[in-house]
Amino acid sequence: MNVPLLDLVAQYQTIKDEVLAAMMAVIERQGFIMGPEVARLESEVARLSHAKHGIACASGTDALLLPLKALDLRPGDEVITTAFTFFATAGAVHNAGGTPVFVDTDPATFNISPRATEAAITPRTRAIIVVHLFGQLAAMEEIGAMAARHGLPVIEDGAQSIGARRKIDGTWRMSGELGTVGTLSFFPTKNLGAWGDAGLMVTQDDALAQRLGRLRLHGGSRQYLHEEVGTNSRLDSLQAAVLLAKLPHLPAWNEARKGNAARYTAAFGGHPEICPPHVDQANDHIFHQYTIQVSRRDELQAYLKSKGIGYAVYYPLALHLQPCFAHLNYGRGSLPVTEAAMDSVLSLPIYPELRREQQDAVIEAVQSFYR
């Protein structure tokens, strides 16, 4: 049986009528730019994120870039982040004029290590970017307290964690709730995916919300008056309409992912060569990815390919080892936990529409490889 890593067509078939109707409303009105759908999406996602403000923008990459631009970084200014993430996290730091400083991750969750983060703070540090990798929140209580001690803003890269939460002192805190800014990507493969590029920032800070809203519109708070230089990072009304139509389904989709994750973990738990993902007990993990760590990964990949089973390696070359960051002088051995992860991780199909017999085929293929 062929099982793809992700099947967007399966999802499309379940929501087609709702999404097309929402898009048609925009088309009939010919209101493509900054229409009412954008403002509605901003307020609905802010509500979901327990945030005061939502500011939509063109992509998850821009959602990182705009708050970094708002820091007015000067050459040599440092932003501490993880190297075990999608490229955009650190690319945005560079493009905002700063220098990424990579620190190691927690071996259990793959998220940034609070201790390593604190150890990397220097007088040039201007911010910390936390990535809630694969859909599980980082230790925000520790990172938040440490950042507050040092007077540093925290950007939560929540591209993979919409709707994920963490219980802190008895209260559920959402992805993006506790940071200075939380960012989201609605890239089509995300748990909430647009039909193109889309992103959004959330914040509790009134002044910052205003500035981010301006930066995405060429730095102007009204037409033809530019307080500063921004860029065009508007979200299309059509994409906002797609996302608004899909948003009510997100809780059920996230639950279906969790159910699939539980079935995998029940099947793989205790296996000597397969390490299922660790879920920190404070976390409600939304499983953007279900990522195991395995031995003999190259052979396993070839085997899965031969069986028609989809998989992916996120991320095979951590950011501190990327050629574009060679001038930062990291090398193999600089971040041992990150490097061990990049050498052993493998993500399996976890999408909500994955059928039981498809998941059984994935489990059987992985188990039979090690038999």
Ligand X SMILES: Cc1ncc(COP(=O)(O)O)c(C=O)c1O
Contacts with ligand X in 164-193 (CB under 6 A)? 185, 187
- 109 to 138: interface string for ligand X, x by CB under 6 A: ----------------------x-------
Q: Which of 205, 200, 185 is nearest to 54 (CA)?
A: 200
Q: Which residues pair with 185 in a beta bridge?
A: 199
CB of 57 to ligand X, least distance (A): 9
Whether the bond into 290 is cis, omega within 30 of 0: no
Figure out which of the listed residues 45, 48, 68, 159 binds ligand X, where binding follows CB under 6 A.
Answer: 159
Per the CB < 8 A criterion, the answer to whether 265 and 277 are in contact is yes
- Binding residue for ligand X (CB under 6 A) from 83, 88, 137, 362? 88
- Which residue in the shown chain puts its C-beta closest to ligand X? 60
Q: Which stretch binds ligand X (CB under 6 A): 19-27, 155-163, 204-212, 292-300?
A: 155-163
Q: Are 130 and 109 in contact (CB under 8 A)?
A: no
Choices 93-101, 156-164, 290-298, 354-362 (CB under 6 A): range interacting with ligand X: 156-164
For residue 251, the number of C-alpha atoms closer than 13 Å in the C-beta half-sphere is: 4
Q: At 22, which helix (H) or strand (E)?
A: helix 8-29
* Choice between 185 and 358, CB closer to ligand X: 185
Shortest distance, position 162 Cβ to ligand X, whole Å: 11
Which of 89, 191, 293, 347 touches ligand X by CB under 6 A? 89
DSSP letters, 193-232, are --SS--EEEEES-HHHHHHHHHHTBTT-SBTTB-SS---B
Among 61, 109, 289, 358, binds ligand X (CB under 6 A): 61
Residues 216-255 interacting with ligand X (rule: CB under 6 A)? none
Q: What is the spatial distance between Cα 267 and Cα 138, in angstroms, rounded to a whole number?
A: 26
| Contact set with ligand X (CB under 6 A) | 59-61, 85-86, 88-89, 131, 157, 159-160, 185, 187, 197, 199
